[in-house]
Amino acid sequence: MKIGIKKALSRRALVKPNALYYFWKYAANAGRVKAAKDYTPTYSDVPSIAEEITREGIVTGHVSDFLSPEGLEHFADAKAEVLKLSRSEEVQRMLADGNAKGEFKYNKGKDYLVNLITPKTEHLADGPVLRLALDPKLLEVVSSYLGLWPRLFQIHSWLNYPTEEPAKASQMWHRDPEDLRIVKAFIYLVDVDEDTGPFKFIPRTHSFGEFANCVPHHKDRKRVEDDEMNPILSPDLHRVCTGPADTMILADTVGYHRGGKPTSKNRVLLTFTYTSSWQSKPGPQISGTPSWSMNDMQRMAL
Ligand SMILES: O=C(O)CCC(=O)C(=O)O
């Protein structure tokens, strides 16, 4: 029963709450929803950030808008770690060959990027990447938007490089399938302009967004071509998320999005995916016991 419901809800935005939505909210995620309801955010700007995601499906800003002061320190360390790897000889060799190898090649269909952290990478419990993904302010924002205490489903980092091929996979318009409502946090670790393959999003196409009912006909099961999308949701509605390094994007990626098709420069980003417990696949691998004390929301996120 649950599998059938999950499939029915996957890759589609709800226009208004229906029976499946109420099942998702009050049965599948009852404990997480109650925890969110009983909780008052400690950061005063959390409600307004969450309201913007609720309305637009996306909010962008500098990392300091969304992270706690200690989170900014973990961010600096995580960024240094990822950029160091991106500049390593091994990665530079793969870029010169235009071909990711071994653990750097996580997803076969995405031969336009090198994975620097994959969802299978093991993270130290005290490491900066995990601590950043569990940042207390970021979790409060995600929780306020989702209306439930979230689950940290994936940690991922990759480097997109220019290719000659036409757009494919996540470079084409699509909706993510992981849950009925999702928050993906993307953090640019380098400056991203039009030539660097910015993330693109069509605001208000997430569940309960103003354009949730605007669904183009598309030949491919998952991906939407420009000539299918543009007559329904015209390019002047598309948000192109260019920005300097340390730009952060929080988006409900059930809304239409695409990105990572650079024309002349490499793009490096770090991304975290937050879902409800509806998504039951294993989350990040963690080694060791944290020496820091987690709050209840952080514990429930793991
Ligand atoms: O690389 C990008 O900018 C888009 C990534 C994407 O589509 C996704 O993570 O679902």
Nearest atom of ligand 1 to the alpha carbon of 156: 9
Arithmetic mean of pLDDT, 82-88:
97
The 8-class DSSP code of residue 15 comes to S
Q: What is the band of 4 on the pLDDT scale with cuts at 50, 70, 90? A: low
Nearest atom of ligand 1 to the alpha carbon of 158: 1
Nearest atom of ligand 1 to the alpha carbon of 253: 10
> In whole angstroms, what is the distance from residue 86 CA to residue 104 CA?
11
Pairing of strands 257-258, 199-201: antiparallel
> In whole angstroms, what is the distance from residue 203 CA to residue 236 CA?
11
Backbone phi, then psi, for 146, in 5-degree steps? -70, -25
124 in helix, strand or coil?
strand
Pairing of strands 239-241, 113-117: unpaired
- 102-132, pLDDT tens digit by residue? 889 887 778 899 999 999 999 999 999 999 9
Q: Radius of gyration over alpha carbons of the chain, in Å?
A: 19
Residue 166's nearest CA partner among 256, 93, 258, 77 is: 258
pTM exceeding 0.75 = yes
- 194-208, pLDDT tens digit by residue? 999 999 999 999 999
Residue nearest to atom 2 of ligand 1 (CA): 259
Task: Tell me, rounded to whole angstroms, the distance of Cα 7 from its chain centroid.
Answer: 20
Residue nearest to atom 3 of ligand 1 (CA): 259
> In whole angstroms, what is the distance from residue 225 CA to residue 110 CA?
17
> In whole angstroms, what is the distance from residue 151 CA to residue 134 CA?
10
Q: How many CA atoms lie within 13 A of 135 on its CB side?
A: 25
**Mean pLDDT value across the chain:** 94
Whole-number Å distance, alpha carbon 260 to ligand 1 midpoint, is 7
Instruction: Tell me the domains of the chain and their CATH numbers.
Output: 2-301 (2.60.120.620)
Kindly report the CA angle at 300 between 12 and 185, in degrees rounded to 5? Answer: 50
Per 3-state DSSP, the chain is made up of helix, strand and coil in percentages (nearest 5) of: 35, 20, 45
> Pocket around ligand 1: residues whose beta carbon is below 6 Å from it?
170, 176, 184, 199, 253, 257-260
CB atoms within 10 A of CB 105: 16
Residue type for position 64: S
Residue nearest to atom 8 of ligand 1 (CA): 170
The 8-class DSSP code of residue 45 comes to T
Kindly report the CA angle at 35 between 32 and 38, in degrees rounded to 5? Answer: 150
- 6-61, pLDDT tens digit by residue? 666 678 999 999 998 999 999 999 999 999 999 999 999 999 999 999 999 999 99
> In whole angstroms, what is the distance from residue 39 CA to residue 296 CA?
11
Query: In Å, what is the CA distance from 234 to each residue of 14, 53, 211, 238?
Result: 21, 21, 12, 7
192 in helix, strand or coil?
strand
Nearest atom of ligand 1 to the alpha carbon of 170: 7
Whole-number Å distance, alpha carbon 75 to ligand 1 midpoint, is 20
Whole-number Å distance, alpha carbon 258 to ligand 1 midpoint, is 5
